[in-house]
Chains A and B, each alone.
Chain A
Amino acid sequence: MFVKEWRCEYRTRYALNTLALFAFTTLVVVSFSLGPLGVDRSHGTAVLPVLLWIILLFSVAAGLPRTFVQEEETQTAMALRLSATPSALFCGKLLYNLTLVFALEVLVTPFYLMMTSLEVASPWLFAAVLAAGGYGLAAGSTLVAAIIAQARSKGTLFSVLSFPILLPLLVLAVELTRGATAGDPGGVAVPVLLLYDATITVAGLMLFPAVWNP
Chain B
Amino acid sequence: MSAPRLQFADVRRHFGRLSVLQGVSGTVDPGEMMLVTGPNGSGKSTLLRCLAGLLATDGGTIAYQENGTPLDAAERRRRVGVVAPDLAFYAELTVEENLAFFAKLRRVSPARGLDVLGRLALPLDRLAGNLSSGMRQRLRWGFALLHSARLLLLDEPFQNFDAAGERIARELLDEHLAAGGLAVVANPSSLDFQHVATHLDLGR
Listed stretches A73-81, A101-109, A121-129, A183-191; interface member: A73-81
Contacts of A80 in B (CB 8 A): 105
Distance between Cα atoms of A88 and B106 in the complex (Å): 10
B89 A76 Cβ-Cβ under 8 A? yes
Asked, given contacts A78-B84, A82-B52, whether A213 binds B105 with beta carbons under 8 Å apart, the answer is no
Distance between Cα atoms of A4 and B106 in the complex (Å): 12
B188 interfacial contact with A, CB 8 Å:
no
**Shortest Cβ gap from A38 to chain B (Å):** 47
Contacts of A11 in B (CB 8 A): 92
**Shortest Cβ gap from A25 to chain B (Å):** 26
Interface of A is mostly: helix
B84 A83 Cβ-Cβ under 8 A? no
B82 A213 Cβ-Cβ under 8 A? no
Contacts of B88 in A (CB 8 A): 74-76, 78-79
A17 interfacial contact with B, CB 8 Å:
no
A79 B74 Cβ-Cβ under 8 A? no
How many chain B residues touch A (Cβ–Cβ < 8 Å)? 27
Q: How many A-B residue pairs have CB under 8 A?
A: 58
Distance between Cα atoms of A138 and B180 in the complex (Å): 46
CB < 8 Å neighbour of B53 from A83, A209, A214: A214
A29 interfacial contact with B, CB 8 Å:
no
Distance between Cα atoms of A48 and B143 in the complex (Å): 52
B104 interfacial contact with A, CB 8 Å:
yes
Digitize B65-106: 1 where CB-to-A-CB distance is under 8 Å, 0 elsewhere: 000000001100110101010111111110001000110111
A78 B54 Cβ-Cβ under 8 A? yes
**Shortest Cβ gap from B23 to chain A (Å):** 20
| B residues apposed to A, CB below 8 Å | 52-56, 73-74, 77-78, 80, 82, 84, 86-93, 97, 101-102, 104-106, 143
